[in-house]
Homo-oligomer: A and B are copies of this chain.
Amino acid sequence: MNLQALVKKPPSWLSGEDDAGGIVVSCRARLARNLAGYPFGTKITDEQRDLVVQQVLAAAKGSQLMETATFLDMSTLDGNERRVLVERHLVSPALADTKGQRGVLFDQSESLSIMINEEDHLRMQAIFPGLGGEAWSRISALDDELGASLDWAFTDKLGYLTACPTNTGTGLRMSVLIHLPGLVLTEDMERVLHGLSQLSFAVRGVYGEGSNALGNLFQVSNQSTLGSSEEDTVEELMRIAEQLVAFERDAQETLIADARSQVEDKVWRAYGLLSNARVLSSQEFMNLLSAVRLGLSLSVLKGVPSSFMNQIMITTQPAHLQAEAQRALDPAERDLRRAESVRRKLAELTVDTEGGAA
């Protein structure tokens, strides 16, 4: 696998399909699995790690879903290449940074991936756009396929065994990546966060914490993996995500009713800055992108599709910029390159800049 080629092609889960008017970015399902007969976590030896990799690769080769998947051995990648994989959500920072034999398998679309020898022997992931529920059905299918040839560590009492007890049981972490600028602007986010914390679901800023989440992007995920079925977990998360979408739509309607000019101004200023700035920090970029995405949700600004926004959010991250430049860049150089990349890509779109005039 050529990482340069990877960088040029967006993961398919950024397609913006089924995105509830720009509010939902993606839905992710992750299963933690371990092989019976091998120690977990830090107890495993290097030789055993090698055997785990071999077993998983053999099982994947024999599966339909991962038959043609790409395997990347982390030890053969340099630091920036590993960061590219982190930025694409193909591997965790933990997998990128730890020592020892470890790697990642992923399909062409980057929707399905398996981290090998992260905290658990396998961390299988499915990411799909919107709230379609495909993430769960696909990860479940992959689990079945691999389970046909791999012997999962499992007990009837506890379910799937994992390195950390917080994952034991279903081993399932479902999450939804959701854009909530209306709730943040109307200052209702704290109340919503408080309400969700009463349930067994966590809401985190994707980049940054609490209601100060960078770019108003939040990840909602289940916290419990014991005592409820996978189907219940998925269903409950979907219900919560749909409720958040409804709350967000209400907040956006309130904004438009109370302050249409100010909201339009905010959206178009953000578009104007993204289209023209010569220096863009990642923080400013994320906040401006959030305003443009709000414009899409409100139909204030048409012509910048959510797939476009999802993709530049990935491709303007530091490792992607460095991969494109084919060299290390200091932060000031990255801010120049980020601005240039965003500007050139926006210039390829057709945006009616009077589209949202009152």
Contact = CB atoms under 8 A, between A and B. Distances in A.
A353 B357 contact: no
A106 interface: no
Contacts of A61: none
A17 interface: no
A276 interface: yes
A354 B262 CA distance: 29
A84 to B, nearest CB: 25
B339 A343 contact: no
Interface in A245-269: 261-262, 264-265, 268-269
Contacts of A353: 275-276, 343, 347
Nearest to A340: B357
A279 interface: yes
A199 interface: no
A269 B277 contact: yes
Contacts of A358: 278, 336
A72 interface: no
Contact of A265 (B265, B274, B279, B357): B279
Nearest to A273: B272
Contacts of A261: 278-279, 332, 336
A136 interface: no
Contacts of A264: 278
A285 interface: no
A245 B277 CA distance: 28
A268 B278 contact: yes
Interface string A37-80: 00000000000000000000000000000000000000000000
Contact of A276 (B272, B277, B278, B340): B272
Nearest to A347: B353
Nearest to A278: B265
A271 interface: yes
A271 B354 CA distance: 16
Contact of A268 (B276, B332, B344): B276
Contacts of A265: 277-279, 339
A356 B277 CA distance: 11
Nearest to A335: B261
A264 B268 CA distance: 20
A356 B357 CA distance: 29
Contacts of A340: 357
A336 B268 CA distance: 13
Given A353-B343, A353-B347, A358-B336, A272 B262 contact: no
B273 A277 contact: no
A342 to B, nearest CB: 12
Contacts of A271: 276
11 contacts: A261-B279, A265-B277, A265-B278, A265-B279, A265-B339, A269-B273, A269-B276, A272-B274, A272-B277, A273-B273, A336-B358
Report, nearest first, the 9 A-B pairs whose CB atoms are least far apart. A272-B276, A272-B272, A265-B278, A268-B276, A265-B279, A264-B278, A272-B273, A269-B277, A268-B278
